[in-house]
Structure 1
Amino acid sequence: MQTLREACVAVLLTAGADAKADAARALFARWQAGGIRFSAEGPDVPDRPARPARPELLPPGAMPKRKRAGSPAMRFALLHALAHIEFNAIDLAIDLVARWGAGMPRAFTNDWLRIADEEAQHFALVQGLLRAGGGTYGDLPAHDGLWEAAQLTAHDLEARLALVPQVLEARGLDVTPAMIERFEAMGDEAAAAVLKRILADEIGHVEAGNRWFRELCAESVTEASGRFRQLVTQLFRGSVKPPFNDSARRQAGLTTEWYTALGGAAPVSKR
């Protein structure tokens, strides 16, 4: 029987976008069916997951300028950017389990493999919208900054839970409602419905990150919100600034004192 580490690394080393999404879903199904041995035995976790030949990955500052508002090209670009985020989110969830799953309670692995399954579903939904528009994921360049947070936190679970679900995914809670409104204004109810599904699921993803972060802080008798702000200030290379979707964040356990005290200033990264 394949170990948890072996199964996760196999997904990480799957390069094709659709194949990776399918592999993540299959892994969760096997886990639920008892077909994965709860063990950290296996190969080293790769520093970077395998990627398809396309899209071309560029530094964030080198990305092409946005298309004209309301145009079919802008619609495709928005959906392509969303597909890229969801594709990376599959690997982020699987990487979390590969590194720490077998050393945490089984409920932790169950949460994050479920989240990987949901991210794979999100990717497939957005990929379907792209294909309905005559294209596919990979047709446009994408930025290569999404994996940086994983590399910065590869040996610290507290830091990973602070930066990925509670900063990067929480930002999705802030910006997605405006994207839904934009697609509705264009009369694109199909895209708006997919985004509504993603937003509902992402609240649960941020909640899982917040809940397990609180668990770790409780074990070390550390005040959770202060530890969160400390880690974000030390490690996050962007800025945490409004507008915030306070309602969605509160549902996920991120009450305002967790993030408003960060002040929106761009912290200094310490490697």
Structure 2
Amino acid sequence: MATLGEAARAVLLTADPHAKRRAARGLARAWRRGELAHRCDVAMPDRPARPARPELLAPAQMPRRRKGGSERGRIAMLHALAHIEFVAIDLAVDLVGRFGGEFPRGFVDDWIGVAADEAMHFALLDRRLRQLGSFYGDLPAHAGLWEAAEATRDDALARLAIVPMVLEARGLDVTPATVDRFRAAGDEVSAKILSRIYNDEIRHVRAGTVWFGQKCDELGFNAVETWHALVKSRFRGALKPPFNDSARARAGLTQEYYAVIAS
């Protein structure tokens, strides 16, 4: 029987975006059917395979996106979001393949489900780009989105603290305003896609918060204090308001976590 680790590594080493999307959903099906042994017995790659396009640029080199409701600006925003979802497939799969053996099956259930969600989000955004005359890879993309994975590859608690509880939680803060901008521009199709992604991301942040708390309890750590320490030591950016307190609360990420150390 193939193992969870082998299957996760295969997804990470798939470069083509649509092949990776299909591989992630195939991983989820195989796990649900009991076709994968719960063993993480192979090393995950330091960096996942990437397609030739989009061109990946350092943050300072990224072209500035125009504000407003022009179609060109909306395409640029959708492309940036598609890239985030594409990288998010690998972040979820790497979490499973790298750390899944340290947790019970419920952890794997949750994070393989997240990977399948991210694959679906990517598909929705790429389809919308094509409807607008573009596609994923048509524009440059941010090269730094994998940095959080590299900074936390040695510690499951650090990975949970930074990726779902900082980076995905930031998406909860900014997405409602983005939805409003698309609606104001008359692009209800894109607004509905982003609203669907937003609701799924609340569940993803909640999965991170729940498993972070459970692991802290298992180790006898105070969850809030441990999160503060890990964010200060492993996250290069700053936690900046405004925060979507209601969405964060729905995800179990209460203000005691982030309000104290926000800049």
TM (norm. structure 1) is 0.95
Map of 1:268 onto structure 2: none
- Residue 50 of structure 1 aligns to a residue whose secondary structure is coil
Aligned residue number for residue 122 of structure 1: 121
Instruction: Work out whether 1:24 is the aligned partner of 2:24.
Output: yes
Structure 1 ranges of 4+ moved more than 2 A? none
Partner Cα distance (2:69, 2:120) in 1:
26
C-alpha distance after superposition, 1:224-244 (max 9, x if no partner):
111111110111111101010
Aligned to 1:256: 255
Matching residue of 1:90: 89
User: Which amino acid letter does the alignment assign opposite residue 247 of structure 1?
Assistant: S
What amino acid is aligned across from residue 12 of structure 1 in structure 2?
A: L
Deviation per residue, 1:135-181 (Å, 9 max, x gap):
11011101111100000000100000000000000000000000000
Tell me the amino acid that sits aligned with residue 2 of structure 2. Answer: Q
Aligned partners of 2:172 and 2:244 also within 8 Å: yes
> C-alpha root-mean-square deviation of aligned residues, in Å?
0.8
Q: Partner amino acid for 2:18?
A: D
Q: What amino acid is the match of 1:216? A: K
SS at match of 2:165: helix
Secondary structure class of the residue paired with 2:260: helix
Amino acid at match of 1:37: A
Residue 180 of structure 2 is aligned to residue 187 of structure 1? no
Question: How many residues were matched structurally?
Answer: 263
Q: Alpha-carbon deviations, 1:83-142, whole Å to 9, x = none?
A: 000000000000000111123100000100000000000000001100101111011101
Instruction: Say whether the 8 Å CA contact 2:165–2:209 is kept in structure 1.
Output: yes
What corresponds to 1:171 in structure 2?
Answer: 170
Greater shift in the superposed pair: 140-149 or 68-77: 68-77
Q: Deviations over 1:208-259 (max 9, x none)?
A: 0000000111012111111111110111111101010000000111111100
Aligned mates of 1:41, 1:66 — CA distance in 2: 43
Contact persistence 2:46–2:150 (CA under 8 A):
yes
2:71 partner letter: P
Task: Give the aligned residue type for 2:261.
Answer: L
1:14 counterpart SS class: coil
- Structure 1 partner of 2:109: 110
Unaligned runs of 5+ in 1: 265-271
Q: Secondary structure at the match of 2:253?
A: coil
What's the CA shift for 1:69? 2.0
Q: Secondary structure at the match of 1:262?
A: coil
1:269 corresponds in structure 2 to none
Counterpart of 1:161 in structure 2 is 160
How many Å apart are 1:16 and its aligned residue? 0.5
Match of residue 50 from structure 1? 49
Any conservation in 1 of the 2:241–2:262 contact (CA below 8 Å)?
no
Amino acid of the structure 1 residue aligned with 2:92: A
What residue ranges of structure 2 are gaps of 5+ in the alignment?
Answer: none
TM-score, normalising length: structure 2? 0.98
Q: Output the CA distance in 2 between the equivalents of 1:73 and 1:7.
A: 38
